[in-house]
């Protein structure tokens, strides 16, 4: 059986899902540890240090463009090896930072390697998948469990060995995964760009272009919500749980529970995505974010905990749609490049939300900031009204 027609070994599929968890974990270690790092570096408030993490998210977006191109033209296996070894080494290097600007440089380097996964790892998983929705849903669960583990693991490592250990241990884990991946993943006979392929469903060229523009615009507004909440939920819990619970490890456990429960939404969405009209289903998940943001803006203590679970269920639940549409409408030979372009624009722009998180919360407070985010959900909903419907789909690939 030709290499491109054979299924990936189970170990390779497992490592590709673990890589998604690591990708999000590395991007959120800083957010989970920002208060401790700020104190260690002599800054009075976490808000003053938060902008130094924006470079990671900017490069997480911008780096997707060359990563996607190299994934299609050079090979996805080779790029995943660069991901594992590069992000592991960059994380260990971050533990040696002594000043905010050194920290910013190291976090930006983490972002460079983190950019590889989404345009390379997800298309690699999907290139032989018979059920893309379920594959994306489970992969999304793995990625967002990485978000949960970042909150939980960082809290415990800070108490055990300090914030530097929170970067070293995951870095060593990534290096180990890279070694196993190199041994388990067969070498590619040809790069994806040179294989035979075709889209599963075709749209007329003007509608396909419109769909890609709408997906990118919706991804920008959705990514603002994702970046702002996943980076800000830790400080939000610490602020709203004062007098109720103030232990960093316990708060990290609560935040991990929020993300773990919310991550299950992606599995559910992955299994349902073929059963409902795509456009309406996507719009429902976004509209439902609005009342949750309003509730979270006012809630305190355990009511906030409940509101955050509801909010993150719908934010995480909306994530699989763009990857599913790319898998549905875009030829696998181009998939990494199209995904890279979409991610490059959306994450590079939305990285501003990480840079602005500290100053915005300092000026407006979390209540008004969450209400502002509700406006982004409204904008996403309006953008999605322009998405082509199922009636426009013309040809089912054999």
Chain segment 313-355, per-residue pLDDT in tens? 999 888 888 877 777 777 667 777 777 777 777 777 777 777 7
In angstroms, the CA 245 to CA 226 distance is: 25
Which phi and psi (to 5°) does residue 146 adopt?
-65, -40
pLDDT over threshold 70, residue 195: no
CB within 8 Å of 160: residues ≥ 6 apart: none
Tokens 């990480």 — which residue? 354
pLDDT value of position 284: 94
Q: How far apart are the first and last CA of the chain?
A: 19
pLDDT in tens, 286-316: 999 999 999 999 999 899 999 999 999 999 8
What does the pLDDT average to over 32-54?
Answer: 87
pLDDT value of position 15: 95
Of 58, 151, 150, 53, give the one whose Cα is nearest residue 106.
Answer: 53
pLDDT over threshold 80, residue 5: no
284-291: long-range contacts, CB 8 A cutoff, minimum separation 24: 285/314, 285/317, 285/318, 285/321, 286/218, 286/222, 286/314, 286/318, 286/377, 286/380, 286/381, 286/384, 287/377, 287/381, 288/314, 289/225, 289/314, 289/315, 289/318, 289/374, 289/377, 290/374, 290/377, 290/378
Using an 8 Å Cβ cutoff, are 373 and 225 in contact?
yes
pLDDT value of position 87: 97
pTM of the model: 0.74
- Joined together, the tokens standing for residue 264 give 């299950």
pLDDT value of position 10: 83
In angstroms, the CA 83 to CA 241 distance is: 37
Domain at 204-389, CATH from 3.40.50.300, 1.20.1250.20, 3.40.50.150, 3.10.129.10: 1.20.1250.20
Domain boundaries defined on the chain:
1-188, 204-389
Name the E strands within 55-155.
Answer: none
Of 54, 83, 46, give the one whose Cα is nearest residue 66.
Answer: 83
Beta bridge partners of 202: 395
pLDDT in tens, 354-377: 778 888 888 888 999 999 999 999
In angstroms, the CA 305 to CA 285 distance is: 20
- Joined together, the tokens standing for residue 110 give 């983490």
Higher local confidence (pLDDT), 357 or 392: 357
Count of beta carbons in the 10 Å neighbourhood of residue 182: 14
pLDDT over threshold 80, residue 248: no
Higher local confidence (pLDDT), 195 or 24: 24
In angstroms, the CA 162 to CA 170 distance is: 14
What does the pLDDT average to over 58-78?
Answer: 86
Exposed/middle/buried for residue 13 (C-beta within 10 Å: 0-12, 13-18, 19+):
buried
**CA dist 206 to 332, 343, 370, 388, 394, Å?**
20, 21, 36, 10, 13
**CA dist 338 to 145, 334, 346, 397, Å?**
26, 6, 12, 19
pLDDT value of position 244: 66
pLDDT value of position 325: 78
pLDDT in tens, 133-188: 788 888 888 887 887 788 778 888 888 888 999 999 999 999 999 999 999 998 87
Domain at 1-188, CATH from 1.20.144.10, 3.90.1150.10, 1.20.1250.20, 1.10.10.10: 1.20.1250.20
Dihedral sign of CA atoms 120, 122, 126, 128 in order:
positive
Count of beta carbons in the 10 Å neighbourhood of residue 394: 10
pLDDT value of position 35: 87
CB within 8 Å of 129: residues ≥ 6 apart: 135, 327
pLDDT over threshold 60, residue 198: no
Using an 8 Å Cβ cutoff, are 144 and 315 in contact?
no
Is the fold of 1-188 the same as that of 204-389?
Answer: yes
Exposed/middle/buried for residue 105 (C-beta within 10 Å: 0-12, 13-18, 19+):
middle
Exposed/middle/buried for residue 3 (C-beta within 10 Å: 0-12, 13-18, 19+):
exposed
Q: Which of 99-103, 236-240, 370-374 has the lowest mean pLDDT?
A: 236-240
Q: Which of 49-58, 82-91, 136-145 has the lowest mean pLDDT?
A: 136-145
């Amino acid at each position: 059986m030709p290499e491109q027609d054979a299924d990936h070994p189970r170990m390779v599929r497992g490592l590709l899902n673990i890589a998604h968890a690591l990708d999000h974990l590395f991007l959120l270690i800083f957010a989970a540890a920002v208060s401790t790092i700020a104190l260690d570096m002599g800054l009075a408030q976490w808000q003053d240090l938060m902008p130094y993490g924006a470079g990671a998210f900017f490069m997480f977006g911008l780096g997707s463009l060359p990563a996607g191109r190299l994934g299609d033209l050079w090979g996805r296996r080779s790029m995943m090896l660069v991901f594992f070894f590069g992000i592991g080494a960059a994380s260990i290097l971050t533990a040696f930072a002594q000043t905010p600007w050194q920290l910013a440089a190291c976090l930006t380097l983490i972002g460079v390697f983190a950019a590889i996964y989404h345009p390379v790892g997800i298309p690699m998983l999907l290139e032989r998948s018979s059920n893309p929705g379920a594959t994306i849903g489970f992969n999304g669960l793995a990625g967002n469990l990485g978000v949960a583990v970042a909150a939980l693991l960082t809290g415990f490592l800070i108490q055990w060995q300090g914030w530097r250990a929170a970067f070293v241990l995951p870095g060593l884990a990534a290096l180990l995964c890279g070694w196993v991946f190199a041994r388990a993943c067969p070498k590619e006979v040809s790069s994806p760009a040179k294989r035979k392929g075709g889209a599963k469903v075709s749209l007329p060229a003007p509608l396909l272009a419109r769909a890609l523009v709408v997906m990118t615009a919706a991804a920008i507004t959705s990514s603002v919500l994702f970046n702002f909440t996943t980076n800000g939920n830790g400080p939000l819990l610490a602020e709203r749980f004062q007098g109720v619970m103030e232990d960093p490890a316990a708060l990290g456990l609560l935040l991990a529970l929020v993300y773990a429960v919310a991550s299950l939404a992606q599995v559910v969405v992955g299994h349902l995505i073929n059963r409902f009209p795509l456009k309406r289903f996507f719009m429902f998940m976004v509209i439902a974010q609005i009342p949750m943001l309003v509730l979270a803006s006012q809630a305190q203590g355990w009511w906030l905990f409940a509101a955050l679970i509801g909010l993150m269920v719908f934010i995480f639940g909306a994530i699989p749609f763009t990857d599913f549409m790319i898998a549905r409408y875009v030829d696998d030979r181009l998939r990494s490049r199209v995904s890279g372009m979409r991610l490059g624009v959306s994450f590079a722009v939305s990285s501003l939300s990480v840079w602005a998180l500290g100053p915005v919360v300092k000026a407006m407070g979390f209540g008004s900031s969450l209400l502002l985010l509700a406006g982004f959900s409204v904008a996403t909903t309006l953008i999605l009204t322009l998405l082509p419907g199922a009636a426009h789909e013309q040809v089912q690939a054999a």
